[in-house]
Chain A
Amino acid sequence: MLQKPSRRQILRNPNRRFVGRIDRRVFANFDWTLLILVALLFMIGLLNLYSATNDSDIADKFQLQLVWMVVGFVLMCMAFLVNYQYFESAAYGILIAVNVMLLATLIIGQISHGAQRWLMLGPIRFQPSELAKIAVILALAKFLAANRTTRGYNLKELGIPFALAGGPILLTMLQPDLGTSIMIGLIAFSMIAFVGIRLRTFLGMFFSVAAVGVFGFFFLLHDYQRDRIMTLFDPSRDPLGTGYHIQQSKIAIGSGQFFGKGWLQGTQAKLQFLPEHHTDFVFSVLAEEWGFIGGLVVLALFFALIAWSLTIATRSKDHFGTLVAVGLVAFLFWHIFINIGMVLGIMPVVGVPLPFLSYGRTSMLTVMIAIGLLLNISSRRYMF
C-alpha cells in the first residue's frame, strides 16, 4: 500500500524539476489510446470545420483553428510533461491567480457581444473564465484528496469546496457568461459527488440550488437568457426569434437522415440557415452532412474518450490524480452533453462549445490543457 508522499518527498522528487529528467517510465507508459482518440476527434473536427467555413466569409476560421491547434499542442505538451503533483502544490495559487484575472476582466476586460469576457495580456487576448475551469478542478482535487470521506460529505465539510468553486462561478456569472458559470458549477458538483455526499446534504443542496435557480431565473438572468430557457421548452414559441436557432439546427440534423447529405453538401449550414454553425452549432453541420452514421461515430468516439478517461481516474495511484482526472472527465462530459443536447433541442441554448469540433481559441487551448493533464496522470500511473 502506497503512502501519500509528504510535501518534502514531492519536492525532492527529481522527476518534477524539468523535462530533461523526466522518468523514462512516463514514455514507456505513454497513453497512446487517449492520444489516438483525441487525434481522431480533432481530425473529424477539422474536416467538419472546413465544410462549415469554406466558401464563405468565415473561411479564415479554418486556418486560425489550425494555428490554435499548434499553440494548444504546445500547451498540451507542457501540461503533460510537468509532473501533475507539481500542479497539486500550486493548485491554490493558480486558483487565486485566476480569480484575480477574472476580477481584472470585470474591471478592465474587453467587451464583446454584450459581455466582458476578454483580458489582454500583452498581445495575447484570452478568456480567464475558461482557465477558471482547470483551476477549479485542480484546487478542488487538491482539497478533496486531502479531506476524503467514506460516509459522504455533510454541508459543513463542503464549506471550503463551495468557496473554492464559488468565486469563479460568481465572477463569470457577472461577466455575464452563464454557460461557463454553469459549467464550473457542474464540474465542481461532479467532483464532490464523486467523492461522496450525504443524501440529506445532497437533497438540501438540490433544493437550495433549485430555489436559487428559480429566483435567478426571474431576477438575475438577462432577458435573452430567460428567452433561451423558455424557448427550450417550446422552440415554436418564437420561430423567428430565439427558437429559430434550435429549429434550424433540428432541421439541419434531421435532414441528414441516415447517410447524410455528404461532406460539403450541407445546405442548412452552407446557405446560412443554421446560425453559429462553426462554433456552438457545429455538431449540426456534422449530423447534416454525415447523417446518423457520422453522429454515431462521433458520439462513440466521445463516449470512448470519457470512458477511457474514467479508467485513467481509476488507475491513478494517488487521490489527487484520480480527482483531477474525474474533474477533467466532468469537464469534457458536460461540454459534450450540453452542447450536443442543445443542438438536438433537448438542452437550453447556453452557448457551450463542443470540444474538438467547435471553432474557438480559448476552448481549443483549454481542451488541449485538459488532454495534456489526462495524459500526464495516465502516463504516471506506475510512478509511486
Chain B
Amino acid sequence: MVEQTSPEKSYGRSLNIFMSAVIVAFLILLGRLWFLQIIQGPKLTERSEANRIRAYRITGSRGMIKDRFGDVIVDNRPSFDLLFNPRAVNEGEEIQYLRGLAGKVELDLGVIQSRMDANKNRTTIKIKEDITRDELARIETLSMFYQGHEYPLRIEKVGKRTFKFGQYFAHIVGYTGEIDQDRLEAPEYAGYRAGDRVGRFGVESFYEQFLRGEFGLRKVEEDARGHRIRALEYTPALPGKDLELNLIVELQQTASRAMGIYAGSVVALDPRNGQVLALYSAPSFDPELFNQPLTQAQWDALVNDSLKPLQNKVIGGMYPPGSTFKVVSALAGLQEKEITPRTTFECRGQWKYGDRFFRCHNEKGHGWVPLMVSLMRSCDIYYYKLSVQLGIERIARYAQFLGGGRKTGIDLDGELSGLIPTPEWKMQRYSQEWMPGETLNTSIGQGSVLMTPLQLAVMYAAIANGGTLYQPQVVRRIVAPDGSPIKEFAPHVMGESEIDQKNFDYVRQALISVVNNPGGTAYAARMKNLTVAGKTGTSQVRRIGKQRMHISTLPYEHRDHALFACFAPANDPKIVVVVVAEHAGHGSSVAAPVAMSMLSAYLRVTQQHPELVAPTGEREQK
C-alpha cells in the first residue's frame, strides 16, 4: 500500500497526458472534418448530387420515310421495353427476383446478369425489348399485387420501326440497330450512348442526322430506392425529320416480282436529273428482322446465303458489263474518228490476233458489219478490230468520261467504284505488262472491266441525255414534322462527257434497232406502245472455250450474267433501266424482259402521275 496522497498530486502527470491525448484526438477529428468538408467538399457534393438526381433521356421519335408520291414506307409503331430498378430489391437478390418472373415474361438471365455486373451504380436497366402485349398485361397485373415499397419493374414506351413495303425497300431504307463501337466514337454521333438505336444501313444510316429525333431530358430527384421524389427539369424530345424518296413503290414491287428467283439488280433512273426511280437488289430480306437482336441462327442464315441477300448488289455488286460496254468502244471510235457509222469490219466468228484466237458469240460470224449492226447483233469481232485501232488508253478514257471507275456518289453507304483497267493500273496492281489481247477483251466489257449496275445506269443515262453525268439521288427532300421542307435535293451534275451529240445520235439509233429491228438481240422483248433503246449483255464468268457449252450443263457459279441496259422513250428519254441477273444466262432472254416489265409499270405510273414525265426544272451546275 502506497502512502496516502491527494488524487490531484498522484495523478497530475496522468491528467496532463490524458488532456493532451484528448486534444490530439479532437484535432484529428477536426482535421478530418476539414478535409472532407472543405478540401473534398465540392467533389463529394457532386457525388451527393449524382446520388439523388437522375437524368432520364427521352428519345424523340424517328422521322418517317415515304416514297415519291407520299406512300409511307417506314413508320414507327409503339413498342414496350421492360426496365428493372435493382435498388427496389435487396442487394444480391436481383437475379433471384427476376427468376421469380418465369412464366410471366421470358428473360435471358445470362445477359441480364452480365449487365447487372457492369451496372455498379445499380441504376435502372433495360432487361427486355419489345415485350408482347400479353407480357405487358401480366407485368401490370403483378404490380397491383406487389407488397414491397417500390415496384422494381417499369415499362417504357418506345418507337420501333415498322415497314410497310419491307422486302421491296430493304436495301434502300436499311434498318436500325444498336449503335456499334465505331459510330459511338465518331464525332457526328456525339450524344449517343451504348444501347441507342441508330440507322445501321441504307438511308436510315446515311440520313441518320435528319431522321433521328432530338433527345429530351427529364431530371428527377430520387431516393436511394429509386422512388421518385419530385421532377426538377424537363426538356421535351423533338421528333426527327421525314424523308421523301425519289423511288416509287410500284416500280420496286415490279422489280421484285420480275426478278423472280434470280439474284441481281434492277435500277431505274430519270436520265434528266439522276433521280433514282427504282433500286432493287434481289434477293431481298425482311428488315423487320433487325428490330430485335438477331439470333445466331438467323444471322448465319443471312450471311451464309450464297445469294447474299444483305448485299445491295446495285451499288455493291461489280460485274463485267459485257456487251453493254460496247457503246463505250463505239463512242470512243466515233469521237476519235477511227470509224464512221459506215465503217465496216468483217466478222467470221473468230479472229486470230497475235497467237490467240478471239471468238465472237456467233461462231458462224456476222459477215461485214457496220456500227449499227455491230450493236444490234452485238458482234464481238467488230470491237476487237476497233479496239486495236483505238488502244486501251483511249477506251479507258471514254469509259471514265461516261462514269466508269469511280463512285457515282449516290446517297447510300457501301458503294463500290468498279474498275476500268489501264496498263498503269496493271503495272501498279500486278507489276505486269499490259497484254495486247486484254485491250480486245476490254472493248467488249470482259477481262478486267468491272462496273456496278448503278454505274451502268448512270452511263446509259448519259447516252440518253446527251452526255451529262448526274449523281443518282435516292432522297428527294427532307421535310420537318410540320410539313415544311428542310432541304430539297436539286439535280447534281458530276461531269459532262466530251463527246459530240451526233455521235450519241448514232449510238442511240443503233440501240433503238437492238430492240426494234427484227435482227436485234432484244427484239423478242420489244414493247408495242413504247419505243425503247437498249443493249443486251451476257457477261462471261468463264471464258468461251472451243467447246461452247449450254447453260444448263454449267454449274451455277460458272453461268453467265444476263444484263440489259435501256432507256425510253428512245427519242426523248425519261427513264433508264438497267437489269443485271446473276448467272441467269442471256441478257436478251432473261434481263430484257425484266426491264420491259419495269417500263410497263412506269407507263402505268405516269398515267396516274403525269408530273413524272413533265419537263424538269433547271439543273444545278457544279
Contact surface of A with B, Cβ cutoff 8 Å:
1-4, 147-150, 190, 193-196, 239-241, 248, 250-258, 267-268, 270-273, 287, 291-292, 295-296, 299, 302-303, 306-307, 310, 313-319, 321-322, 326, 329, 333, 337, 340-341, 344-346
Contacts and interface: CB of A to CB of B under 8 A. Distances in A.
Contacts of A196: 14
A196 B48 CA distance: 47
A299 B6 contact: no
Contacts of B43: 254
Contacts of A296: 30, 33
Q: Could you tell me the dominant secondary structure of chain B's interface residues?
A: helix
10 contacts: A195-B14, A255-B49, A271-B222, A272-B223, A295-B33, A303-B26, A321-B7, A337-B25, A340-B29, A341-B29
Chain A facing B: main interface SS: helix
A258 B38 contact: yes
Contacts of B45: 254-255, 257
In the complex, which of the residues A148, A195, A258, A321 has the most CB atoms of chain B within 10 Å of its own CB atom? A148
Contacts of A306: 22
Given A194-B14, A271-B52, A341-B29, A292 B34 contact: yes
Interface in B19-35: 19, 22-23, 25-26, 28-30, 32-34
Given A251-B48, A314-B15, A271 B221 contact: yes
Contact of B37 (A295, A302, A318): A295
Given A295-B33, A337-B25, 16 more contacts: A2-B6, A150-B10, A248-B51, A255-B45, A255-B47, A256-B41, A268-B48, A272-B225, A287-B33, A287-B37, A299-B30, A303-B23, A313-B11, A317-B6, A322-B11, A341-B28
Interface in B576-610: none
A256 to B, nearest CB: 6
Contacts of A345: 32, 36
Contacts of B122: 240
A251 to B, nearest CB: 5
A267 B52 contact: yes
Interface residues of B, number: 45
B229 interface: yes
A344 to B, nearest CB: 5
A345 B18 CA distance: 24
A196 B11 CA distance: 9
B7 A271 contact: no
B7 A317 contact: yes
A91 B276 CA distance: 103
The 4 closest A-B pairs by CB, nearest first: A254-B44, A255-B48, A271-B223, A322-B7
Contacts of A257: 37-38, 41-42, 45
B91 interface: yes
Contact of A333 (B4, B6, B11, B22): B22
Contacts of B6: 1-2, 317
Contacts, number: 150
A253 B44 contact: yes
Contacts of A254: 36-37, 40-41, 43-45, 47-48
Contact of B4 (A3, A194, A252, A273): A3
Q: Which of B37, B38, B40, B224 has the most CB of A within 10 A?
A: B37
Contacts of A4: 4
B546 interface: no
A190 B15 CA distance: 11
Nearest to A329: B18
Interface in B224-240: 224-225, 229
Nearest to A239: B120
A333 B44 contact: no
B44 A194 contact: no
Contact of A252 (B7, B14, B38, B48): B48
* A248, A258, A296, A322: residue with the most chain B Cβ atoms closer than 10 Å: A322
Nearest to A3: B4
B300 interface: no
B14 to A, nearest CB: 5
Given A252-B48, A295-B33, A307 B15 contact: no
A172 to B, nearest CB: 24
A84 to B, nearest CB: 14
Contacts of B186: none
B8 interface: yes
A273 B51 contact: yes
B102 interface: no
B118 interface: no
A303 B23 CA distance: 8
Nearest to A252: B48
Contact of B26 (A3, A149, A241, A299): A299
A239 B37 CA distance: 21
A292 B38 contact: yes
B190 interface: no
A149 B1 CA distance: 8
B137 interface: no
B435 interface: no
B26 A253 contact: no
Contacts of A190: 18
A234 to B, nearest CB: 16
A86 to B, nearest CB: 19
B41 A255 contact: yes
B223 A302 contact: no
A149 B224 CA distance: 56
Nearest to B44: A254
Contacts of B7: 313-314, 316-319, 321-322
B111 interface: no
